[in-house]
Amino acid sequence: MSSERIQKILSAHGLVSRRGAEKLILEGRVTVNGSVAALGQSAEHGIDDIAVDGVSLTPKGEMVYIMLNKPRGYVTTKSDERGRKTVMDLVQCPAGAYPVGRLDINSEGLLLLTNDGHFAYNVAHPSHNHTKTYEMRVRGDAGKAARLLRRPMEIDSHEVCAVDVRLLEKKPDGGLIRITIAEGRNRQIRKMCGLCGLTVLSLKRVSIGDLGIGGLKPGEWRHLTEDEIKSFIASERA
């Protein structure tokens, strides 16, 4: 497991935005292993004890692992300063649980929640090779765009490349495309589509690694099985 900046860990945890995390650190409200954290400091989530106002990110006790079919209109965070609905309004889980990664407010589909920082790291970090697959309804030349999406492109000064792209349905004014990516940069799919001349009408994450969304309807959730949990942890030893 590698170190990451504390503000990035707090943001990924769903507590606050990256800027909000920096504010918490500057105010002296964040500690690492009992010592007040400094802005720019790194730590290993799941190894180091990171706390905000004395409350550890990963509390001791029973671990919870949940999969949710996130509907549109919900933000992927524990709370929202603008009063918008969050994914935490949809599930019943311990206060210490949080979303793993993000789906923007207009996206839907598979989202994992946990209070196990080690599990969350295994799911989210690109080094563990858990690809993410999305289906998107688009407007534009879907056939041409599907070919372009298979090529490397630059997003936010980083080169990205889809693992797999499939044109599921083609219409004169758009279509349905399935795309699999290995990383998950901010609004990456939408930005890739924009570079290919597409407008994304709907975006749904249908799988993370080997875990598919199955028959969960929007807003429904369930606990992961032991085998599903192990499938993510096992990647660390692969």
Q: In whole angstroms, give the CA distance from residue 233 to residue 122.
A: 6
Asked if the model's pLDDT at residue 1 lies above 60, the reply is: no
Q: What is this structure's pTM?
A: 0.74
What is the token pair recorded at 46? 């799941």
Query: Any residues with CB less than 8 A from the CB of 159 and at least 6 apart, and which?
Result: 152, 153
Q: Are 57 and 37 in contact (CB under 8 A)?
A: no
> What are 32's strand-pairing partners?
35, 50
> What are residue 166's DSSP bridge partners?
178
- DSSP state, residue 61: S
Looking at residue 61, its pLDDT comes to 61
Position 15 scores a pLDDT of: 64
Closest CA to 116 of 59, 185, 186: 59
Decide if 104 is catalytic: yes
- For residue 14, the model assigns a pLDDT of 62
Q: Which domains does the chain have, with CATH numbers?
A: 4-56 (3.10.290.10), 65-127+212-236 (3.30.70.580), 131-208 (3.30.70.1560)
Under a CB-based contact definition with an 8 Å cutoff, are residues 224 and 214 in contact?
no
Q: What percent of the chain has pLDDT over 90?
A: 55
pLDDT tens for 214-234 read: 999 999 999 999 999 988 876
Q: Say whether pLDDT at 86 is over 60.
A: yes
Which of 104, 116, 141, 227 is an active site residue? Answer: 104
223 beta partners: 66
